């Protein structure tokens, strides 16, 4: 299931969706997962309940592949949670598909989680010494075991107690037959929004999922907040003291869909501002501005508007390739880029091209794309990146966990330019990036409420690099 372009990007791990008090909870969750498909293409699953019985299904592949014809007709109930998961190497197994379902002493529960726990490995070893048996390699199961081992008699209290043990990033949904429990990690590293649909309550990783089901945005889940949603309404509690939020900046740069709003900021408009700021910080002389689809399109438009250089569609993305089963050798990675992208020759031929991209992670794909532009007749290729160099691994649910994977950890900007074959290469500054996104942090946090760890090395939680290596993300 190798995607040559996604391999050379930072990739988010999962999307979660939950709904309470709707007679078509499972079908709506299915639609919500479609809207969150960009957050995960390895597997998808749904659990629902009618208050007595459970209905559940997980499958590999895209949402439409995981749920075959007639599968949704088997679901009933007013309460459901769903999950879509991104591929991580060595973990493409149905056992790791979510939601995970458990029977335990207090009853039954289903768990869905977006993020990564930096202390999952340590907790897992401790639990195994005490007799716990794990069925998956997912750190989500660590959370479930902590809940099941709690001495608390009700699910919300057990969840709250479990959350005291874990560290890292998590947007967490837990349900039993008649309650939906929602929690966001104390740093607010992952996005999680609350919405409504008539009398129903919805929660999703991104607001674009509300739109597809006809729902309305209500508010963001606060960092360190736990919601109990049941027949009595919505009860909000705190399981951690309020601290400065450190939302993953790549949600704005790359992960989230352009039509989503995160903390009140539209992603498309934020990316346009990034492009305009990039034009100010890293101008280039050229005849045409193009973006690498899809996430860089907005930034390319902003760059073009700020400079007056025409914006053109320089690449066509093949929407119908789907997931490919090429073995990830270097040669096949490079050839695979042609399956995903084609250059519009008449746009770039004989031109000085300014190519906007959101990031350079490993550099392999950037090198190939620059060469594709030259092969199509571009006389110069100037690369501008709407984020700073990614120099540090992420331990919060993104698929880089070592310095060796990151080209900016091992090469200077000039060396990266030579490696990708561009005529010039410049990146955004961290300050310019934060200013352009425009988040207002009332607590005057030094990073304006952003996690900048992959750029600056300042991690918002304590990280033991050996312990933080993921079991399996999500």
- In this structure, the strands spanning 450-451 and 247-248 are parallel
164-167 contacts at long range (C-beta below 8 A, 24 or more positions apart): 164/239, 165/123, 166/117, 166/119, 166/120, 166/123, 166/142, 167/117, 167/118, 167/119, 167/461, 167/462
Do the annotations mark residue 454 as ligand-binding? yes
Domain 15-243 bears CATH identifier 3.60.20.10: yes
Do the annotations mark residue 394 as ligand-binding? yes
Q: What is the pLDDT of residues 157-210, one digit of tens each?
A: 999 999 999 999 999 999 999 999 999 999 999 999 999 999 999 999 999 999
> Does this chain's domain 15-243 share its CATH topology with 269-452?
no
Q: What DSSP string describes 189-205?
A: -S--EEEEETTEEEEES
CA–CA dist 136, 153 (Å, integer) = 26
Catalytic residues: 14
Question: Would you say residue 260 has pLDDT above 70?
Answer: yes
Q: Greater confidence, 36 or 131? A: 36
Q: What is the pLDDT of residues 350-370, one digit of tens each?
A: 999 999 999 999 888 899 999
- Other CB atoms within 10 Å distance of the CB of residue 230: 18
**400: confidence class by pLDDT, cuts 50, 70, 90:** low
The structural domains of the chain, with segments of one domain joined by +, span 15-243, 269-452
**399: confidence class by pLDDT, cuts 50, 70, 90:** low
Mean pLDDT of the chain: 89
CA–CA dist 253, 443 (Å, integer) = 23
- Which CATH architecture is the domain 269-452 placed in? 3-Layer(aba) Sandwich (3.40)
Q: What is the pLDDT of residues 288-326, one digit of tens each?
A: 999 999 889 999 999 999 999 999 999 998 876 554 444
Do the annotations mark residue 295 as ligand-binding? yes
What does the pLDDT average to over 2-7? 45
Q: How many angstroms from the chain centroid is the CA of residue 316?
A: 24
Do the annotations mark residue 248 as ligand-binding? yes
Question: Would you say residue 335 has pLDDT above 90?
Answer: no
């Amino acid at each position: 299931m190798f995607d040559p372009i996604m391999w050379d990007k930072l990739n988010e791990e999962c999307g979660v969706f939950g709904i309470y008090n709707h007679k078509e909870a499972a079908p709506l969750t299915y639609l919500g997962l479609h809207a969150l498909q960009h957050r995960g293409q390895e597997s998808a699953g749904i659990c629902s309940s009618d208050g007595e019985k459970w209905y559940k299904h997980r499958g590999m592949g895209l949402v439409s592949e995981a749920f075959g014809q007639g599968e949704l007709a088997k679901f009933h109930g007013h309460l459901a949670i769903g999950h879509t998961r991104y591929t991580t190497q060595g973990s493409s197994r149905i056992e790791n598909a979510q939601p995970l379902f458990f029977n335990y002493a207090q009853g039954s529960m289903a768990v869905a989680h977006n993020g990564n726990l930096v202390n999952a490995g340590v907790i897992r070893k401790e639990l195994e010494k005490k007799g716990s048996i794990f069925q998956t390699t997912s750190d989500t199961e660590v959370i479930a075991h902590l809940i099941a081992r709690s001495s608390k008699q009700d699910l919300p209290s057990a969840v709250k107690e479990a959350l005291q043990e874990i560290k890292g990033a998590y947007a967490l949904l837990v349900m039993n037959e008649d309650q939906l429990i929602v929690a966001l990690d104390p740093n607010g590293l992952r996005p999680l929004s609350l919405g409504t649909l008539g009398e129903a309550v919805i929660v999703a990783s991104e607001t674009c999922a509300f739109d597809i089901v006809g729902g309305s945005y209500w508010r963001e889940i606060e960092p360190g907040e736990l919601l109990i949603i049941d027949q009595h309404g919505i009860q909000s509690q705190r399981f951690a003291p309020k601290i400065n939020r450190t939302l993953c900046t790549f949600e704005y740069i790359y992960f989230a869909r352009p039509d989503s709003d995160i903390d009140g900021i539209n992603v498309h408009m934020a990316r346009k501002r990034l492009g305009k700021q990039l034009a100010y910080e890293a101008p280039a002389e050229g005849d045409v501005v193009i973006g690498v689809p899809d996430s860089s399109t907005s930034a390319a438009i902003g760059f073009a508007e700020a400079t007056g250089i025409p914006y053109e569609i320089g690449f066509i993305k093949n929407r119908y390739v789907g997931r490919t089963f090429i073995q990830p050798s270097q040669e096949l990675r490079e050839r695979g880029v042609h399956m995903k992208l084609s250059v519009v020759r008449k746009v770039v031929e004989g031109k000085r091209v300014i190519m906007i991209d959101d990031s350079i992670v490993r550099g392999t794909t950037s090198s190939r794309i620059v060469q594709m532009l030259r092969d199509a007749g571009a006389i110069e290729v100037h690369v501008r990146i709407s984020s700073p160099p990614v120099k540090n691994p992420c331990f919060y649910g993104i698929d880089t966990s070592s310095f060796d994977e990151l080209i900016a950890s091992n090469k200077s900007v000039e060396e990266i330019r030579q490696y990708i074959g561009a005529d010039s290469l410049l990146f955004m500054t961290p300050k310019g990036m934060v200013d352009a996104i425009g988040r207002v942090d009332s607590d005057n946090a030094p990073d304006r409420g952003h996690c900048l760890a992959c750029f600056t090395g300042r991690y918002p939680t304590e990280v033991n690099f050996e312990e933080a290596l993921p079991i399996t993300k999500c």
